[in-house]
Chain A
Amino acid sequence: MESKTEGKIMEEKEGEKCWMVASEKKEGAVCLIKERCKGCGFCIEFCPVKALEFSEKTTDKGYHPPKMTGDCILCGKCEKMCPEFAIYVKEEDE
């Protein structure tokens, strides 16, 4: 099931929301385990290309998780910055 409501092309499996990203060099996805997010905003603040924003929707606990709106370059900064092990990059293996 793909829907565009949460920004870029998005696919949702149980508990996990992945934004498919296809930049020139790399193909892959940025995935978010929504329920782990505590809305600290590190990923949004320190994304080098400002591809993430706070989502209007909240998690069950009332935190605003990120959503992908910009052109992600799959650099993985958000994954390294996340204190909750909530967001990570999945690269298509060539």
Chain B
Amino acid sequence: MSIRKSRNYFSPDYMNQQKEKDKSYGLHPLDGYLKKDRIPHIWCPGCGLGVVLSSFLRALDHSGIPKEKTAVVSGIGCTGRVAGYLNMDSFHLTHGRAIPFATGLKVGNPDMVTTVFSGDGDLFAIGGNHFIHAARRNVDFNVICVNNFNFGMTGGQAGPTTPTEATTTTTPFGGFEHPFNLPAVAAGSGAVYVARWTAYHVEALIRSLEEALNKKGFCFVEVLTPCPTGYGRRTGQKTGKEAMKYYKENSRIEHGADPTEVSLDQDEIIVGKFVDREAPTYQERRGEIFQAIRKKKGVE
């Protein structure tokens, strides 16, 4: 079959579906960051992912960083679908490999303000080894972890941050593994900026994301996010609203808290900015050494 002719790509019903969407495209102030015909997105009613995404786009908007100089890399999972909605250089990687890809992208083109936008499973289960090494190297990009405590896309299995006793499809009788304290993992690995917010704390989240976008080095922001379909309905938070209300009533902001003290098995959810320090980035350290060598070898 000749490749050219077989392309009846835009079927009629697809076209009028587009007309309907196109009409409303551009009305919302953040529409410019979103792909024209990809909204409404795939995430469930009550899922907090859209809140985190809109907070990120709002932070990007405030920061004034041009869209052309921004890249978003996401892995596999519900959060993995973020890249597909963005009207900018966006990369939807294999499961767990968003971070090393971002390392290659950032070192390959240092001008790109790069953000890895992925979930708790992608970043800390299969991708854990890459996370701790990228943080250790202090590669200059941001990691936003949408922590909804389970593998949502595949229907609600237990993940590395699932609370110990929680019931999930793979812990039908209650879990028995101790979950990560993500800020502790990030700070312990060397991240220069570590913050945790929930999807309820939108104003603070937007400010925090803007800080991360403007900060040099490996910046990590964890966002506790409702997942009614995969996680909430089996753990007493049937709707996103209930989860958000729970965050509102049980969170306490404590900037500068010791990251190792903010595990989630306490009564209160401690949120805030825990680490914000300066350190030379991976590229800066390498740049200095390589410049010295080039000078020594008389190579420009």
Contact = CB atoms under 8 A, between A and B. Distances in A.
Nearest to B48: A83
A35 interface: yes
Nearest to A85: B28
A47 interface: no
A39 B47 CA distance: 11
Interface string A12-52: 00111000000000000001010110111110011000000
B49 A33 contact: no
Interface residues of B, number: 35
A63 to B, nearest CB: 7
A9 to B, nearest CB: 19
Interface string A50-94: 000000000000010000000000000101111111101000000
B241 A41 contact: yes
A46 B40 contact: no
A80 B48 contact: no
A80 B45 contact: no
Contact of A85 (B48, B49, B50, B244): B50
A85 B31 contact: yes
A80 B241 CA distance: 15
B54 interface: yes
Contacts of A80: 51, 54-55, 58, 202-203, 206
A83 B27 contact: no
Contacts of A39: 45
Contacts of B20: 15, 35
A83 B47 contact: yes
A16 B45 contact: no
A61 B55 CA distance: 26
B180 interface: no
Chain B contact residues: over half helix, strand or loop, or mixed? helix
A84 B24 contact: no
Interface in B185-239: 200, 202-203, 206, 239
B40 A88 contact: no
Contacts of B239: 40-41
Interface string B251-291: 00000000000000000000000000000000000000000
A38 B241 contact: no
A38 B40 contact: yes
B29 interface: yes
A59 to B, nearest CB: 10
Interface in B149-206: 200, 202-203, 206
Interface in B38-63: 39-41, 43-51, 53-55, 58
B23 interface: yes
Interface of B: 20, 23-24, 27-31, 34, 39-41, 43-51, 53-55, 58, 200, 202-203, 206, 239-241, 244-245, 248
Interface of A: 14-16, 31, 33, 35-36, 38-42, 45-46, 63, 77, 79-86, 88
20 contacts: A16-B24, A16-B27, A35-B20, A38-B44, A40-B47, A41-B241, A42-B51, A42-B240, A45-B245, A46-B200, A77-B202, A80-B55, A81-B202, A83-B43, A83-B54, A84-B40, A84-B41, A84-B50, A86-B40, A88-B28
Given A36-B39, A88-B29, 15 more contacts: A15-B23, A33-B27, A38-B40, A39-B45, A40-B240, A46-B200, A46-B244, A80-B202, A80-B203, A82-B54, A83-B53, A83-B54, A84-B41, A85-B28, A88-B28
